[in-house]
Amino acid sequence: MQKIIIGKVTKSVGLKGEIKVIPLTDNPERFKLLKEISIIEENGKITIFEIEKVSIVKKAVNLKFKGINTKEQAQEFKNKEIGIDENKKFPLQEGYYYIYQILGLKAVDEEGEFLGEVKDVLKNPGNDIFVINKNNKDYLIPAVKEFIAKIDLNNGKIIIKQIDGLFD
């Protein structure tokens, strides 16, 4: 089953095995609803841990896993991603998407002409920005209705409105 990345471990916290996680979700409170979480290693190995304690500290989440009781054990998680099963994601309102759903979509204009591929989504206070890559050049497109005509997940594309100079 596909894992949805919801955070990244930055460091251990304290002496009793807690870790600090930067949430990659708009709702850090969601961590409090989880009973277990997956640690995803760079090589793709996935290990599931039972959550013992969750606390929200400023913009970070501190987690304590059952059986992880020392600072040294917690340090093993540094820079690893935290994921959940896809079936545990929160449902979104219509017109909202998870970043993983947007990445890799083909960007086309309203006539169907290929404009590039969505390489990244930048989080901004006002609105997200889609990074569209074409011929090794990145174009930054605001993720707002003035620029985006439609996101079509079924056909793997995002339709961008034709605006002069947008891809020059």
**Residue range(s) occupied by CATH 2.40.30.60 in the chain:** 3-87
Q: Which numeric CATH code is attached to 99-160?
A: 2.30.30.240
CATH fit for domain 3-87, picks 3.30.110.40, 3.40.50.880, 3.40.50.720, 2.40.30.60: 2.40.30.60
Model pLDDT, residue 26: 75
Closest among 140, 139, 108, 104 to 124, alpha carbons compared: 140
Partners of 46 in the β-ladder:
40
Residue 48 has pLDDT above 90, yes or no: yes
**Residue range(s) occupied by CATH 2.30.30.240 in the chain:** 99-160
Residue 123 has pLDDT above 90, yes or no: no
Average pLDDT over residues 3-25: 91
pLDDT, mean over the chain: 90
Buried b (16+ CB within 10 A) or exposed e, 130-165: bbbeeeeeebebebeeeebeebeeeeebbbbeeeee
Confidence at 1, pLDDT banded by 50, 70, 90? low
